[in-house]
Structure 1
Amino acid sequence: MNDWHSWAAIVVFVGAYVLIISEKIHRVAVALGGAGLMLAIGATDDVSAFYSQDSGIDWNVIFLLLGMMVIVGVLKKTGMFEYLAIWAVKRARARPSRVMAMLVVITAVASALLDNVTTVLLIAPVTLLVCERLALPAAPFLTAEVFASNIGGTATLVGDPPNIIIASRAGLTFNDFLDHLAPLAVVLVITLLLLCRVMFRTSFRYDGDRAAEIMALEEREAIKDPRLLVQGLIVLTLVVAGFVLHPVLHYEPSIVALLGAGLLIAVSAVETNDVLAEVEWPTLAFFAGLFVMIGGLIDTGVVGKISHYLADVIGGNELGGSLTLLGGSAVLSGIVDNIPYVATMAPITSDLVHNMGGSGDHVLWWALALGADLGGNATAIGASANVVVLGIAERNRQPISFWEFTKYGLIVTAATVVISLAYVWLRYFALT
């Protein structure tokens, strides 16, 4: 692509980003309009947009979301989420700060075992019910859970989609991620809990009457369809096992999710139309448009030029390179969704590792993973989990604005990235 296409693609992307931030036009309309402009100006084409692994729509993400949304839609009909909401509030003695801490920890742990998108799809309905029961604003709780999902997902190979890309390119195992990133993730979750106590302190309004009402409830009475619940939990367990066994089975998470969704609809008596009505179609459309817009930046060489500039800055300095890669990735992943960013940076990082003699401790790969995963918390569109939760919140009339999310996201990202920089320096350089 020539320079004209590159500059035109930048103008389209920046214009779309400004409109998303301003919220004067719905973000789905902006994303689809931006995608159409990218195609119209020739920044990308139908082949790249719909079929390219490098610069097209990531259908694995789209169908993973679709499959899990169907499963969650079926589980909602069982009363399971009402049960979990009552159970969580009672265990926290209906104290809002304790409820948030419990949901943050549960989200972080589940995101490490599943993946962060699947986790927020399961946790968000519970959170909305908890907040409704306690007459609390849902936005702070949902926002905190997004942060927890991206931090918890950092800990394992399956926790965040960028980690799967990195593991494939670098030849890293599930245990490698546990050894190198899980200890840091624990520290970052504790940091998040402390930040939440400060950032959301005005939201912790305790209502004694509502608390007493919930404490008197029997959560088992919330279950409406025990048979469907058993069927749903069996399928969900199989899907989770499929996610965890990805290195052995070699089934993509999207395939596992679709198989699970199809199986659950087949064995249960639910109406297909009712379940499909629960799918967040606007969220899926937003992702499709966003992927096409970013694909335009990739096809015109804009993302590649930025990445190569970063590689030139790094040079052969492993310490400086690691810290620069971590910090730079955090900034860029807050602007561009971290999945296409990592897909673009992975081959460049591989070359850097090769030029540095193999980098036996894989420090550059860990820096890339940390920057991309944690940088996703910076803005409302920085990671898949962010977009999913904003879509769920809007659908349930609890909208979270771009700036409402981002003003907290920047704080969390800055704190976690600084701690991660210190961790990389200490573990791989100062103490070796």
Structure 2
Amino acid sequence: MTAVAVTVFVVAYILIATEKVHRLIAALGGAGVLLAFGVTGSQDVFYSHDTGIDWDVVFLLLGMMIIVGVLRRTGVFEYVAIWAAKRAGGSPLRIMILLVVITAIASAFLDNVTTVLLIAPVTLLVCDRMGISPVPFLIAEVLASNIGGTATLIGDPPNIIIGSRGGLAFNDFLVHLAPIIAVELVALVLVVPRLFRGAFAVDPDRVAELIGLDEREAIRAPRLLVKSGAVLALVLGGFVTHSTVHIEPSVVALLGAGLLVLISGLRPKDYMPSVEWETLLFFAGLFIMVGALVKTGVISALARLVTEATGGNALVAVMLVLVVSALLSGVVDNIPYVATMSPLVAQLAADIGDPAHSQALWWALALGADLGGNMTAVGASANVVVLGIAQRAETPITFWQFTRKGAVVTAITIAIAAPYLWLRYFVLA
């Protein structure tokens, strides 16, 4: 059974990484083979916390997707983008920096895929009005989204998996990751002018036209915006107080989505298209395949190998997890990578024992996987989404166009993260 579990997982992983078939087909196909061969069963898949589908992850994403689907109807994201462009005085560099900051902050609370889906079309509009290429702006925004999304539990899908597997609450991410991500964002802002040198020439007449836009006209439903803002504030409050009120983030998100749907008066067809069913089903298939590896003992065996490789040294283990996660997440999508690694890290954390050092392993995994997702065009889901948007807009971004910029940013951000982990959890702990 172990050989079957490993073979199915490796084949599915290769198919996902190379995009030979759609990732949903690979994940569900792999899960189906495992079920058909009896490697895992319904009890393992639907009811086991260790080997089954993580329903907290699935329903947290579902709730947030519905909330964002309602928010999309208000025009608030278009408002913010036009407002930023005007406040920047029409300077392409200042516009990019403002959009980068807005994207990073929004990604921390909405998740990075959702944020780029909303910001990228507006960026295309602004760049078209200014007569400049949107490619540098889109690349900068997706880099910012992956950095900003690292700061919170819901900002990047891998964090949801890490939070669930590691027993880490919304506040844990804020306390441990938000400070270093603020530093990483400053570093990105400082490197942007050099990274995209030559991309900021603009026609003054086009700038004047952009400045003439009225951002207030972008708000299509002001009353719905007020309702949505109130519900989103309640949801975020629920996330922050999760450890105190003992209500899981997934339940908070679903309650918020239900309340917003109830008071919005919208029909399902208005907000349900925002639900990415393919992503949710992909997660389900992936959890089943990883669960089979846990059940057959593959994950615990790998954990023992890593423990032996590090000689039981917690600092070496943390740095190894950080660097390996960054490199591998740059080659393959960081969602399946984290789903695979999280049981291994859990085993390593249990073996290490020391609470501070054990928790540092989880933060190393989050920083490595999330920041490493910037390395290549296929390193994170947000990257793939932006490349698709650019392709449809007939301003394609090539794999190497993205990777040349992303690899530089990844190297810088990982170089900043490593001393942070060492200082905070080993020197000052």
Shift of 1:254: 2.5
Q: Supply the distance in 1 between the matched residues of 2:395 and 2:295 (Cα, whole angstroms).
A: 37
Shift of 1:90: 0.7
Residue of 62, 66, 69 corresponding to 1:66: 62
Shift of 1:223: 2.0
Residue of 327, 331, 353 corresponding to 2:327: 331
Q: Supply the distance in 2 between the matched residues of 1:396 and 1:61 (Cα, whole angstroms).
A: 32
Shift of 1:323: 1.9
CA contact (8 A) 1:134 1:211 kept: no
Q: Supply the distance in 2 between the matched residues of 1:364 and 1:14 (Cα, whole angstroms).
A: 26
Distance 1:365 1:261, change over 3 A: closer
**Is 1:127 the counterpart of 2:123 in the alignment?**
no
CA contact (8 A) 2:116 2:386 kept: no
CA contact (8 A) 1:57 1:292 kept: yes
Report what 2:145 is aligned to: 149
Q: Supply the distance in 2 between the matched residues of 1:49 and 1:394 (Cα, whole angstroms).
A: 38
Q: How much identity, in percent, do the aligned residues show?
A: 52
Q: Supply the distance in 2 between the matched residues of 1:293 and 1:282 (Cα, whole angstroms).
A: 17
1:423 corresponds to which letter in structure 2?
Answer: Y
Distance 1:55 1:206, change over 3 A: farther
CA contact (8 A) 1:121 1:389 kept: no
TM-score by length of 2: 0.81
RMSD between aligned alpha carbons? 3.8
Distance 1:266 1:15, change over 3 A: closer
Q: Supply the distance in 1 between the matched residues of 2:192 and 2:28 (Cα, whole angstroms).
A: 34
1:134 corresponds to which letter in structure 2?
Answer: C
Report what 1:422 is aligned to: 419
SS at match of 1:277: helix
SS at match of 2:231: helix
**Is 1:2 the counterpart of 2:2 in the alignment?**
yes
Report what 2:273 is aligned to: 277
User: Mean Cα displacement is larger for which, 209-218 or 198-207?
Assistant: 198-207
Q: Supply the distance in 1 between the matched residues of 2:178 and 2:395 (Cα, whole angstroms).
A: 33
Q: Supply the distance in 1 between the matched residues of 2:64 and 2:389 (Cα, whole angstroms).
A: 13
Gaps of 5+ in 1: none
Report what 2:12 is aligned to: 12
Q: Supply the distance in 2 between the matched residues of 1:273 and 1:169 (Cα, whole angstroms).
A: 34
2:186 corresponds to which letter in structure 1?
Answer: I
SS at match of 2:141: helix
CA contact (8 A) 1:13 1:293 kept: no
Residue of 363, 367, 370 corresponding to 2:364: 367
SS at match of 1:370: helix
Report what 1:309 is aligned to: 305
Shift of 1:46: 4.3
Q: Map 1:29-68 to 2 at 5 A.
A: 29-68=25-64
CA contact (8 A) 1:5 1:41 kept: no
Gaps of 5+ in 2: none
Report what 1:234 is aligned to: 230
Residue of 212, 222, 230 corresponding to 2:218: 222
Q: Supply the distance in 2 between the matched residues of 1:17 and 1:407 (Cα, whole angstroms).
A: 19
Deviation string for 1:69-127 (max 9, x for gaps)? 22222222222222222111111223333222212222333444x36x1x552453133
Deviation string for 1:205-238 (max 9, x for gaps)? 5343332222112211222222222222222222
**Is 1:411 the counterpart of 2:405 in the alignment?**
no
**Is 1:347 the counterpart of 2:340 in the alignment?**
no
Distance 1:427 1:243, change over 3 A: closer
Q: Supply the distance in 1 between the matched residues of 2:25 and 2:273 (Cα, whole angstroms).
A: 20
Shift of 1:378: 3.9
1:267 corresponds to which letter in structure 2?
Answer: I
User: Mean Cα displacement is larger for which, 43-52 or 415-424?
Assistant: 43-52
Distance 1:197 1:250, change over 3 A: farther
Shift of 1:160: 5.1
**Is 1:256 the counterpart of 2:255 in the alignment?**
no
Q: Supply the distance in 2 between the matched residues of 1:157 and 1:271 (Cα, whole angstroms).
A: 29
TM-score by length of 1: 0.80
SS at match of 1:107: helix
**Is 1:268 the counterpart of 2:261 in the alignment?**
no
Distance 1:359 1:186, change over 3 A: closer
User: Matched residue pairs, number?
Assistant: 423
1:215 corresponds to which letter in structure 2?
Answer: I
1:17 corresponds to which letter in structure 2?
Answer: A
